[in-house]
Amino acid sequence: MNGYVGFDVSKEETSFCVMDNTGKILAQGKAFSDPKSLFEAMRTHTLCPERIVLETGTLSNWLARGLREYGLPVDVIDARQAHGVMKLQHNKTDANDAVLLAEISRTGFCRPVSVNSEDAQKHRMLIKARRLLVCQRRDIQNAIRGFLCALGIRFPKGSGKLGKRVQMALMERPDLAPMIEPLQASVKALEIQIKQFDLEVLKQTKASKPAQLLMTIPGVGPITALGFAATIDNAARFKKSRAIGAYLGLTSRRYQSGEMDYSGRISKFGDSLLRSLLYEAANSLLTIVRKSHPLEDWARRIRKRTSHKKACVALARKLAVIMHRMLITGDTFRWPKKEAVA
C-alpha cells in the first residue's frame, strides 16, 4: 500500500507521520535522526512510500542522501514555505508538524529543493570556515582600533600595516600592552589559519574542472569559482541561465496589487555567501581588471547613471548568468576578437 510520509527532523529524534491517499493517518511515531533508523521505521509502517517530505535544515542533506541510497523517494522542501502552512495550526508540536508535512507530501503543495552532493557540501564548508575566520580577524582588528581610538590613538584606514602601527603605539604606551597584545596574538594566529585555508582552496580548485573553467572570467578567483560550482552543483537543474539571478536573490522585488505596481531593491532571498562572493568579483572586475571588455563597459555606464554599488549588483547578476551558461556548455570566457588577439 502506498503511503505519504512527513518527517519533522530534530537533532536527536525525528517525528514521522504516514498517510494514505485519502488523508487518513496510518501511523505516527518517532525514530532516531539517522537514515538507517528512519528506513527501519518506514519498513515497519509502510511497504512502498509514494513520497517522503522533510524541511530544509542542518541534517536535511545528509538524511536525504542516506534515505535515497535505500531507494526511498525523498524530497526536501523549503522550510519557509512549510512554515507558512504550519503557523496556521493552534498547537505547535513535532507530531502535528509531521502530520502537516505528510499532508504536503500527499498534495504536493510545496516544490522540492535541490540536495547537493557530499563533495559540494564539503567545498561550501571549506569556504564558510574560511569566511568565519576572516570575520573574526576583522572584528578583533576593529576592536583594537576602537580601544585605542578611545584613548586618542587613531590609525588610518586599511589593515595592511595595522599590526606594525599598533606595535609602534604600544612602544609609546607600554601600559596598554596587557590589553592589546593578546588581541594582536589572536590576529596573528588567525592569519596563519586563514593561509592554510587559502592553500586548501587552491588545492580543491585545481582538482575541480568547473572551478577551473569559471576562473577564466576576469575578477573571478578560486574562492568565488569553487563557491559557485559547489552551490549550483548540478547546473542542469535550471532550465534557463537567467533564472540564476532570482535564485541568488540578485533580482529586484516586485509588489503588485490593484493599481499599485512597483519594483524595489533586490530580494536577497538566495544564498548570501555566494551573493557576496559574486559582488566581490564584480567589484574586482570594475576596479582592478584593466583589460577592456563590453561587460565591464556596460557596468561602467550603469555606474555613471546610478552608483558604484548598484553597478556591482547588476554586474554580479550578469556574472552569475554567464557562469551558469559556461557550466552548461563547457566553454571558456569569451573576449572580444581584438582583445583576444592582443
Give the number of other Cβ atoms within 10 Å of residue 117's Cβ: 14
| Residues of the chain above pLDDT 90, percent | 54
Assigned C-alpha cell, 291: 583589460
Assigned C-alpha cell, 68: 535515497
**Residue ranges of the chain with per-residue pLDDT less than 50:** 340-342
Q: Considering only CA atoms, which of 9, 5, 34, 20 is closest in space to residue 99?
A: 5
Dump pLDDT digits (tens) for 62-111. Answer: 999 999 999 899 999 988 888 887 887 888 888 889 999 999 988 888 88
pLDDT for res 47: 67
pLDDT for res 339: 52
pLDDT for res 341: 47
3-state secondary structure of 120: helix
Give the number of other Cβ atoms within 10 Å of residue 329's Cβ: 11
Q: Considering only CA atoms, which of 252, 249, 200 is closest in space to residue 226?
A: 200
Residue-range domain boundaries for the chain: 2-113, 118-207, 213-341
Give the number of other Cβ atoms within 10 Å of residue 85's Cβ: 16
pLDDT for res 87: 80
Both ends of the chain: CA-CA distance in Å?
68
The hierarchical CATH code for the domain 2-113 is: 3.30.420.40
